[in-house]
Structure 1
Amino acid sequence: MATSFKQAVHKNLECPVCLSFFKEPKNLTCSHTFCKGCLETLLESCGKLLCPTCREETWVPGGDVGRLQSNRTVRSLVEDVETQGQFGSNSNQENESFQRKRNKCRKHPNYDEECFCLNCNKYVCCKCGILEHAKNAHTILEAGEHETDQNNRVEKLASKADAKIRNVDKYFTFVEDQRKRVHNIQKRLNGEIDAAFEESVEKLKKRKTVLKKEVEHKLGKLKTSLGDVEKQICKQIDQIKKVLELVKNGLNFPHQTEGLTSHEAMCQQLEELLNRFRPDEELPRRTAEEGERIGFRSHGSDELRLGHLRQKKSKWLLRTEAPLPPGNSMSGMVISPNNEMAVGCQNGGIVIYSYEGIKEGTVLKSVEVRALHFMPDGGYVIRDTNNSISLYTELCEKLDVTFETIKGEYGGLTVGKDGLIFIGYSLSQKIQVFKPEGGKQ
């Protein structure tokens, strides 16, 4: 009697889907009851809610299973049974024994539901299977065979799922490794960019220093020249003021013969000073114009040379005739990028003249020049009497560069706009072309 009571309780308080006590039981339109969680799973997998028992569709308001009507009676019975503890720790084992025992057919109470209809997807007794389902050409299996097939199918799917999960885990690990790889590449490239940036900044700083030194070198000479003129003018004005004061004071003394003679001499001296003081307005103007012709041209952001100083174009006019140093002979002459004229001397040195024809000085006095030219940046290229090629900066600092020239022959020298150096030879009638970096042609 107690066993029958337990069977009745389990039969009426178990969810047909999960075969466990109902959890939040919900009624369908067909009056069948199932767990809320089981119905949510069915709705999610099928897209609509079909009763697992009779296949009748139930409309779910807003797609929320929780809004279906709750079966309060079943929920209360489940809570009472769980509270009273009539089924202890062995309840799961009893459930399994009840699951294995077949239910009786409702139409034929004397027959167990030992068959399963694949078309109707439900258990039936053998009599229903023969009289109803087989008659409609349904496929009927023994319940045990169907359950074995289902277990095998579930095991197969579980194995397949486990294999897929392992493969996905491996793929996830692979993707993670590749992401870390890309991150490391990004980190490395950022480091290289930072290093290149710092290196470029240092180069720009050095180039800025060189340019400012060039400005100081070029304009400093002009400022010194004008400063010398200012000193000379101040000196002459002071002399005129001093003699003028003496002349004025001479009028206050008695007009004696000696005093008149001295005063007359002072007047003549003042007259000579006034006649001698003829300011050369042309020289300061030309000097300032020479400074204005020095400009700066930026190379933009494509190069790290920052820019270079350049001399604006002007028309050469011979204004003075400044001779070369005594005992020296001219071996070459070339116009610099700053529009200065450089004259090479075979006995040593390069004499620099401004575009006004004013001699500015002599550089590289110890270098015996046979031919010379200027690099685009204003540096010197010199072919000496030993047929050696040397490069110097605009500030006359020798660069550590060597050129493998043909020994024993002489000829010309010129430089292209791109900095290539062309060396000519008269005997072999050859021309060598060198890059500024030196080496072989």
Structure 2
Amino acid sequence: MAESNPADNEDDIDSLINCGICLSEMEEPKALICLHTFCVKCLKKVKHPPGQITCPLCQEDTLLPKGGIDGLRNNFFIIQLKERRAIRGTGEFKMQCTCCGATDRAAVARCVDCNGFLCQQCVDSHKPLGPLKGHAVYTIEELRSGKVEISKVGKIKCCQNHKDQILRFFCKTCGIPICHVCTVVEHSRPEHDYLTLESATEGQMQEIKGLLASCRDVAKRVDTAIKQDDKVKTELNSVMDKASQDLITTKEKVIHSFLKLIEDDYHSNSEKLQKIDAERNTTIDSSKANLSNLQAKLNNAMDMANQVLTSGSKHDVASNYTTLTSTLKQLKQAQVVTTSDDVSFVKFSPNRSEQVLKPLGHIREKTPTWQLQKEIGKDGEGKLSNGVGVAIASNGDIAVADFYTGEVKVYRRDGQYKLSLGTKQGIQLGEASHPWNVAVSHNQFYVTDATGFVNIYSLMGQYLKQFPVKSPDGISSDTYGSQLHGLDIDNDGHLLVGNRTKKYISKCTQDGTHISTIKVDIRPWFIAVTPMGRIAVSPYSSNTGVYVLDQTGKHIHTINAPKDAKSWHPTGVCCSDDGVIYIASFNTGDQGGIYSFTEDGEYLGCVTTDVTDAHGLAYTCDDGDDKLVVAQASGYPAKVFTFK
């Protein structure tokens, strides 16, 4: 930032001596702690609580001295600039005499030693008086003619408390210039420590120079940060335009099918894009506002520091030292925070299939990754001994079928144990002995176990009823030792129940009424229904794929092991709202993982390999974040992964 003397530029002088409130030339300028200066009359019009006032420009609070607004420090530098401007002018000189205080006599000269303007009568009084004979008095014409250097005029300041004494000392204790009488009276030693003004200002100027250099560095970083915000804003506008265009294009491709669903989804996504746009622009604008405010403070403080250093007197240095150095020190420590490039990341991801609940796709606000969020059932009353099946309720509760304890343990959204379904007392009515799997509707839990029954519980854990399912031959599952295992609720709200010892899946209502039986070519272990109504089934055998079937049980395709899988023994399977199929795999060497595929079997990627003896899987979209819960057997806790 180039240094200049504002006293040498008329435009700069105008900007300095004009009040920021009334925009006119300041009368009796008063400086706030932030160094912004206003007319005393304007400050008195600003509403403020007792004891402090807020700067109308930068909103920084200034504690008021005992005298209130009138007690604020006069900005002598502004006063001096006004005087110099009046001297430099070519028109009528309108400054009044500051010596005798007469308001009807215009000043015709200036006394350097008295540091004031003199009317003709006061000029005449200087000549005969002994103490005033040696004073340097210059007429206004002499000052304007250039015979006297204006910068040399008014360098000597007199004490406000002792009018006939020159300020020659600096009280380090109070941080103000003082006169000789002050050193004896108000600022006497040992309570006060003082030194000559000459000695004090030498060190003060060096300190101000150092702080000024540091603040210049901060100002450069602020400039860079503002440019970064502009860059991010430009990139955001670009990706917002692209995302919006992608959204419109995808809408036009599928507009002839599921028209109402498409329109609803389109408006939802559009509103989300607008919300993201507004929120992120607000974030950037807020950042820029903070940076601009900091920039303004830096510029103001640095300008004042430059003014003091380049054109101020020693008195100016000493008078502004305490406030100026305090402000510069604060600004030196200012944190310059830029807007992250992540703010400009927005992506519209079209769905691969048109026949889904979210036909157009999803908006990703940031680059997502799967992360382990928490473990549940690790210890305490709800400790899991052998988790197999898992389900997630609409309220966020997580239910895990614990095979060894004979219970289905329910945990709250935060992972804290809540309650259990079933008992440990054998195969009796209403008791889940060795539960395999669990599903949940809006108001009930459904549990499969070795009894050949589906057991129903309320969300509060109360046993309600149980019912068997039917084989393709009409044989009830409770008559021949069936082991009901796979369990899910389809898109119509019907239960699908798989028998892991027989090759069929039964469809029934949620109260147990039989609807139909679907013959399959494998023994179903875990079941998941996709948004398209397909049925993904993991077989009760190792090293085979997951079958994807239609509603009649017809085989569509098989999802086989992905190339990066270290082992492939598919167990748990679940499906997200946008048609992604998640499959858990394990082996005894703890080389298992969770993998994701499209409904058509295209491999999407590995969710995690941080699982041991993985079994049941459940998916939910909680507050906009995808979540997967995996049950782990052999005494390991269930794990919750979130896609953030």
TM-score by length of 2: 0.22
| Higher-Rg member (1/2) | 1
Q: Which has the higher helix share?
A: 1
TM-score (norm 1): 0.30
Give the structure with the larger strand fraction. 2
